[in-house]
Structure formats: C-alpha cells, structure tokens
Amino acid sequence: MKVSVLVSTYNSSAFLEDCLGNLFNQSLYGQGDMEIIVIDSGSKEDEGEIVRAFQAKRNDLHYLRTEQRESLYQAWNRGIEMAKGKYLTNGNTDDRHEGDCLERLSDALEEDEQVGLVYGQVEKVSSFEISTDSESAIPCPSQEFFPASLFLHYFYGAQPMWRASLHRKIGLFSGSYEIVGDYEFALRLIAEGLPSKYVPEAKGKMLWREDSLSLSDSGSLANEERRRLFAWSREESMVRKVYRAFPGLNEGGGDGGPEEDFFLDLGLRALCFFPAFGAGKPDLDLHLLEFAYSQNPDDPRFLNNKAILDFILGKPMDAKFSELAASSESATLKGNLEIIASAELQGKPLLFGPSRTFPTEAELRKTESGYLMRSPHSDDQAFPASSLFRLDLQGFRDAYFDSGKIDELSQNSKTYLWGINEKAKLLISYLSQTDASFFLLDSDRTLKSFLGRPIHHPELVLDTLSEERCFFVLCMNLTQGKKMEGRIRLHRPNATTYHLQT
C-alpha cells in the first residue's frame, strides 16, 4: 500500500460522508494505492453507520472506535499503528482535496528519498457549496522549506504527507498536545536534520469554522500549548542544532561561517515572516527577536540590532550602544545612532545580517516585505563580512496599523487595549509617544505589566466603566474579537471598537 489516510472524527457526522466521498475520488484510490482509516473517538453521533454504509461497497476502508474521547493526535497514533501505507496523511473531516492532490504529494516523496515530509497549499472556504463568489475562497499559499522558519510558524498547513518510517526514528505524535501536536512533530523532524518539501501543485480546501479548535474557546488552550512548545524549541542549543543539521541550506552550500550567523538570521526572520493563513500579510515575533539579539551582547552587530528593536518598542537607548556607536568608525552604527537620537519613528536604520546568504522569509514565499529588504550597499568597512538589511520604519508602521486609527486613538478620552500580543506591544510603544490616555487589558493573570504600564483583567474594568467616550482596541483574532465586542456592548453600547487582527 502506498498511502494511508487517517481520518479522526468526533461529532462530525455532518462532514464525514462528503469527506470520505472526496477521498474515494482521489486518483490514488482509483489506482488501488490508498487506504482510509477512520478513528471514531467516542463520538456521540452516527459516524459508524456512515462508515459501514461505505464499507458495503468500497474496499480499503477501515474503522476503529474508542469508547472514550481522545485527542486528535492520540487518534492519529491509533491509525498509524493500523496503517499499511508507506506514506501517511491526515484527512480532516472538514477538509477536501483536489483529485490528484495525494498522488502529487506521494510522487514527491517517491522522487526524493531524503525528504521526510511534503506539503501543498490550501484555500480557506466558508462553504463547500459551489459558488461564483470569489470572496468565498481565500488562497493560503505556503512557502519553500527552510528549517529555521519553523521556529516562527507552522507553514506545512492542514494537509501534509510524511513517511511512515519517520515514526520509527522519532516516535509517534505527542499525546501531551491537543492542538499543536503536528507542529511539535515538525520541530522534531528538523532537530534530526530531516528536510521537507513544498509541492504547490498539490491543492486542497479547508472549511474555516468558528467552532474549530484553533478559533473557538479552545484558542486559549492553543496559545498555552504554543507557549509550551516555544519554551522547548526556542533554546540556544536547539537553534544551533537545527542550523548545524542542514549545512547546505545557505546559498553557497557548505557549513562554513560563524555560528553567530544563526541568530542574526533568526532575528531577521522574526522581524518579518508570512503565516500560512495570514492572507499574505507580514507578521513579527517580538519574543523571538529579543531572544535572537540577546545571544551575544558583546558583539557590536547584536548590540546594534537590539538597539533598533528597543527603539521600535519605545525603550530607552542602551548606553553601551550609544558609547560604541559614537566612537565607532562604522557608518552603520553612526547612522543608526542618529536615527534613534531623533526620537522619531522615521528613517531607514540598518540591521546586520549573517555573513552567509540565507533566503529571507519573503523570498521563500516569493513575495516582498514592504519594510525589510536587503541593502544593496553591504560594504560597511568595519564589518566587511556581514550583510545589511534596511528597515523602513514608516513602511513597518503602515504594515501593521492604520495611521488614521492611531491618530483617532490618541484623541480619545480613554482607550483600552484588550490583548497583549505582538502587534499590541508595537501599538503600545507608538501610543506611548502621544498624549493618548490608554489602559492595558488581558485575561492572562500572569501578565502584570508592559513598558511600565499595569495590565488589568478585562472583567474588572468592564464592571466599572463610566466614561462617556471610550475606545476598545481588540488585539486578537477576528472570531475572538467579535465575541469580546459583544461583551463590551453589554456594558457600553456606545463604545467604539477597532479590531487589530492577528
């Protein structure tokens, strides 16, 4: 058997019949090279009857039911133990594949034995019904494989395919995760030097539902799991291990060059990457930026990059950087010192990049950043081996915020920022430079303050609202934001809300 498809179901009978019909229409199934394994995880609906009806007229369809509900990845692990296929993939009940999708993915694995996992591209749809409405389908193309990109985001999407033999090398999916277990598995792959490959011709669709695991109230669990995952993966030793495991990933090949390159490169990625479901918009990770640029505080390049980051966040200039830049012969350091000293978020400071030419996140995704680009003049005589990247501060601000909205916020009598995520932190730094009166809200009680400002629990604030005019900035995904907006309306029907989508 060539491919085994793992279908986990729990109370999803409304989608299962069409899911199985779509899989039976795969070209691989028609060639007799595919089996389907349905794992019924204690569902309270009639999935078993649906499967048995198909089994009466279809071959290579297997069914396993557990009486107790298990996590998605525990269900997959049960299916893996049953699978006979050389390659494995998941068939989510609310996903659909183009007819040759799984054949294209399996062919890519056949063509290169070094590749452990392959992935295609999907589009988000609000319905599987045929529609001429172009807005009903949102393309979500992925990007070419680069291992360090996984420190930032999971770009494999919802429909990867991988070699069954990988589980003998690195184990099954972790049972300690309910939502990001596939992400954890991908990080284990790159830690072992096992590459993946993008197959853009393999296409599918995924139904974007508000009650999905990642968008529903389980979103808080997803955030907690990501924090736990990043605490494990974003370690200095892990970063070094991953970059070392792929010695030929730089443009020139080979494994030469200093290991400081790893963190200079990682910082640039954290400053601009493109999430698979981000509608082509750039994103950033301030926590990873801080981590990357704090690795070697005695290196002038790291000190320079950290000073630019602090400037963006509204933090005071490091005296060590100020002294170094003032006495240095580096045109880069002197120019950046002048921009920071101006105290205005304008200009185009330079960031030091690695001495090797790694592909940027924008290049991997075949797009442009709009605010971060390679400098054509990488000839700073004080640092001849390092590359330089220009950060357009105005372009950076425009990429994340509506300038008109920011001006409106600064004019309100009182503004509440609900949710302390990466973009919220940037907005806080901008508003701190205005006369705006604003307060920070977050339901995570472990968050106490940011930039010296206390973080309040939303419920305590909602119960005491009395302002005639107030403005709420909802720093969360749109689905969660709509729910929070409803809660605000109960307390302040006339409040203005602005969704800072993440």
Instruction: Quote the pLDDT of residue 132.
Output: 45
Interacting residues of 152 by C-beta distance below 8 A, sequence separation 6+ = 269, 270, 273, 285, 288, 361
Instruction: Quote the pLDDT of residue 343.
Output: 77
Instruction: Quote the pLDDT of residue 410.
Output: 63
* Secondary structure class of 243 (helix, strand, coil): helix
DSSP 151: G
Burial per residue of 438-476, b for 16 or more beta-carbon CB atoms within 10 angstroms, e otherwise: bebbbeeeeeeebeeeebbebeebbeeeeeeebbbbbbb
Cα separation of 223 and 256, whole Å?
37
Instruction: Quote the pLDDT of residue 204.
Output: 96
Interacting residues of 457 by C-beta distance below 8 A, sequence separation 6+ = 441, 442, 443, 445
The angle subtended at Cα 206 by Cα 71 and Cα 482, nearest 5°, is 85
Instruction: Quote the pLDDT of residue 301.
Output: 95
Segment 133-145 shows an average pLDDT of 79
Give tens-digit pLDDT for 321-371. 999 999 999 999 999 999 999 877 789 999 999 998 999 999 999 999 999
Q: Are 22 and 30 in contact (CB under 8 A)?
A: no
Segment 387-402 shows an average pLDDT of 89
Q: How confident is the model at residue 215 (pLDDT cuts 50, 70, 90)?
A: very low
Token output for 64 = 């396993």
For residue 219, pLDDT beyond 80 = no
Q: How confident is the model at residue 413 (pLDDT cuts 50, 70, 90)?
A: low
Q: Are 123 and 51 in contact (CB under 8 A)?
A: no
Cα separation of 355 and 77, whole Å?
43
Give tens-digit pLDDT for 86-132. 999 999 999 999 999 999 999 999 999 999 999 999 998 888 765 44
Token output for 46 = 């009639």
For residue 252, pLDDT beyond 50 = no
Judging by beta carbons within 10 Å of its beta carbon (0-12, 13-18, 19+), is residue 3 exposed, middle or buried? buried
Q: How confident is the model at residue 211 (pLDDT cuts 50, 70, 90)?
A: low
Instruction: Quote the pLDDT of residue 423.
Output: 81
CA distances from 249 to 75, 270, 452 (A): 35, 18, 41
Which ranges of 42-180 would DSSP assign to H, the alpha helix? 47-55, 72-82, 101-111, 166-170
For residue 274, pLDDT beyond 70 = yes
Q: Do strands 137-140 and 496-499 pair parallel, antiparallel, or not at all (unpaired)? A: unpaired
Give tens-digit pLDDT for 164-195. 999 999 999 999 999 999 999 999 999 999 99
Q: How confident is the model at residue 254 (pLDDT cuts 50, 70, 90)?
A: very low
φ, ψ for residue 414 (rounded to 5)?
-155, 130
pTM given for the model: 0.88
Q: Are 167 and 85 in contact (CB under 8 A)?
A: no
* Secondary structure class of 400 (helix, strand, coil): helix
Instruction: Quote the pLDDT of residue 210.
Output: 57
Instruction: Quote the pLDDT of residue 250.
Output: 58
* Secondary structure class of 420 (helix, strand, coil): coil
φ, ψ for residue 427 (rounded to 5)?
-65, -40
- Name which residue leads in pLDDT, 33 or 135: 33
Q: Are 451 and 315 in contact (CB under 8 A)?
A: yes
Give tens-digit pLDDT for 438-465. 899 998 888 888 888 999 988 888 877 7
